[in-house]
Each structure stands twice: as structure tokens, then as C-alpha cells.
Amino acid sequence: MENRKILKAATGLGGGIGHEGDTCGALTGGILSLGLYHRDNDCNRLWSDCIEYYRRFNTRHGSSKCRDITGIKFKEGYDIRRFLLKGMKCLRLVYTSIESIFDIVEVVERKFPSKGAYQLRPPFDIKKFHCAGTVLSHIESRLNLNIGPISRIARGFSGGIAFQGDICGAFMGGVLALGIMYGTDLRRSQHSRFFKAGLVAMKEGSRVFQNEHLHPSFKTSLRVGMFYKKFVSQFGSTDCIDILGKVSRSKNRDSCEEVARSAAQLALDLMSVKTLDWGQTLSLDYQLSL
């Protein structure tokens, strides 16, 4: 049951988070995997392995961002066709990422990260505040939603993946919550649904993602995509280092807590909308802006 919930939570990570081309799903999925492996360990060991995985991933692929690695913009025109015709690159990337994670966790003793390994210093006590966990806890308190172990497993996203300044931990908390609410264990999905979605994508291009009934994962990815746009509209970026850059200029010590509260509310707003379908994305965007 625990593993199934984790897989549901990860539903929206594909295509660079809701097919937005941001941080690669193989990278964020790997961070979740390391969080699961180290769920009972001290944070220092978790962050050490996350930093090593992040470093290897960027060295191998030249970037952490899906759009840079694939050269594809899933939600623009018919770029999705190129992905379907040349999708083996992503499969190879996933397999090499899995191998990398096994290599990392097999090192029994790894030195704790030095201060130089951290790309930023967040304005909060890391022992008392956990970005993604704060968002997940807030959502759990508002809804009858059993977050379970996800909060502890998501510790690796603190500070933008072990304080590397990448994808914001609070944002990731919202993405994972939407996955828990709407996601699916893709191992249980019929292969015919994948095939049908692929055929529609070849014909309709990026519009395929607007139909949440076409594939089990689209209900999540459509909402995650909306969450992404609202978050960027409010904070200017999904990268922790960019958000904290604005924070340091504003000299607001409670800024990360405020980002977490805002992220939780944005996710909750999307959870209040029961159905999204063709052509409704713009009307939803209008509703959420009121």
C-alpha cells in the first residue's frame, strides 16, 4: 500500500512536471527513491546521496531540465510527435538513472556534504522546517487525505533538491499532493490506454493533454500543469534559488513558510475543481485568478 501511494504521488512528474519541461521526472523520481531508501536515516546521509545523484545526472545530461535534455516542448504545437517517434532517449535516461541510484546507495559510508556542496543557504532551520512536508501537512489537515509516508520521503527536495537551488520543495509538495489525490499506479493501467493516447497525440499534438479522460495520468498532469502556471505567475520561477533571490532582497525571514502556505492553497484550489476537460483550462485559469 505504501509503495502504491508513492507511485500515485509521482504521477505528475512526467514530462518535466505536468509536461511543462521543467525538472526531469527521472531526476525527481530518483530523489523520491532516495528519500524512500533513507526514510529512517539522518538527513545528512540523504542529502549526501541526493547531491551525488544530482551531480551525476547533470554531468551526464548537461542539465536537470526536461526541455533542455529532450529539446521538446510538450505543450507547444506538435512537438509531442517528435517525442513519440524518438522516445527511446527518455527510456535510456530512466535506465541509466536507476543504475546511478543503485551505485550511490551501495556506498555504505559516504562523507557528509561539506559546506561547499550546498549551492544556497535557506533562511530557515532545516531541522524544524521541511518545505514539501509543510505543504503536504497543510493539505492533509484541510482534506481527508492520507499523506502517509510521503512527507518524510520528500525531504530530499529541501532547498531545491538537497540545497542545490533547483526545483522548489514547496512546489514539489503541491505536485505530490495532487498526485496522491488524482494519481494512478501506472502498473495497473491497460496498455491499450497508452496506445490510444499516443494515436490521439499524433493527430492532436499538445491538445492531447487537455483531455483528462483519455489516459489515467492526464487527470493529474492537467492539474499539475495548472498548478505550475499559477506558481510561476506568483513567484516568477519554480527554482528555489530564484525564489530565494527575491526573498533575500525582501529580507523576509518567514518567506519560505509563506511560499509553502501559498503553494498549499494553490493546490487546494485545484482540488476543489472536480473535472477538467477540453477547452476548460482557460476558464479554470480565470476562476483561480478571482
d(CA 118, CA 140): 30
pTM (two decimals): 0.85
Mean pLDDT for the stretch of residues 127-149: 85
Residue 269 is predicted with a pLDDT of: 93
**C-alpha cell read off for 102:** 543503485
Task: Give 224-238 pLDDT, tens digit per residue.
Answer: 999 999 999 999 999
For the chain, which residues make up each domain, given as ranges?
2-110+126-289
**Per-chain mean pLDDT for the chain:** 81
- Predicted local confidence at residue 278, as pLDDT: 35
Mean pLDDT of 36-40: 89
- What pLDDT, on a 0 to 100 scale, did the predictor assign at position 56? 96
Q: Which of 217, 184, 176, 219 is nearest to 198 (CA)?
A: 217
Q: Which residue has the cell 509516508?
A: 149
Cα–Cα distance between 65 and 63 in angstroms, integer? 5
Q: Give the residue-averaged pLDDT of 201-215.
A: 74
Which positions ≥6 away from 157 have C-beta within 8 Å?
Answer: 28, 31, 131, 132, 167, 168, 169, 172, 173
The pLDDT-based confidence of 89 (bands split at 50, 70, 90) is confident
* pLDDT tens by residue, 114-123: 655 666 665 5
The pair phi, psi for residue 60, each rounded to 5°, is: -75, -40
Question: Is the confidence at residue 31, as pLDDT, over 90?
Answer: yes
What contacts 35, CB < 8 A, 6 or more positions away? 46, 152, 153, 154, 155, 156
CA distances from 251 to 123, 142, 256, 282 (A): 10, 30, 11, 35
First CA to last CA distance, the chain:
38
pLDDT band at 288 (very low <50, low <70, confident <90, very high): very low
**Per-residue pLDDT tens for 236-273?**
999 998 988 765 544 444 578 889 999 999 999 999 86
Q: Which of 284, 280, 249, 278 is nearest to 266 (CA)?
A: 284
The cell numbers describing 87, all together, are 522516445
